[in-house]
Amino acid sequence: MTRPFLTIVRGLPGMGKSTRARKYAEESGALLIEPDMFLTSHGEYIYNDVRYRQACGQAFTCIRVAAIMCADVVYADVLPKRDDVVAVVREYNNNTRGDDAIVNVIEMGAIDAALSFQRNRHNVKREDIEAMALEWEPWDTYEEEEDS
């Protein structure tokens, strides 16, 4: 069996995560999963903390199903902390029926919270974007601790 690919696209709102993830999924034939898929109602994007947490839960359900099928996945979300990225990887790998996925993390270019607020199309509040920017941890410096 071939190892599946899990590609994670992360960055602040307005960075172009969804566009990049959609293009990558189309080119690779992978499934696109993102919480944004569950934040649209009657054509309107509705973001608030409660709906976002629910959307993340729905997205993780999709990740579990994709993992069971050993499907390649492109997952797009803010994921400001390294542990947020690790949670997605673990959710996928804990549900595969074979080998763990080959993981690729695409970090969208860094911009400040003010520019992110200007560019975001989903009406995410400035204070929410500022909080995301403050807790941002770059992925390239991450080293997961070994389980004891």
E-assigned strand segments in the chain: 5-10, 31-33, 40-41, 44-45, 73-77, 102-107
d(CA 37, CA 59): 8
Helix/strand/coil for 55: helix
Question: Per CATH, is 5-137 categorized as 1.10.3720.10?
Answer: no
Task: Say what the pLDDT of residue 125 is.
Answer: 87
Which regions of the chain are under pLDDT 50? 146-148
Domain extents in the chain: 5-137
Cβ pair 98, 68 in contact under 8 A? no
pTM: 0.89
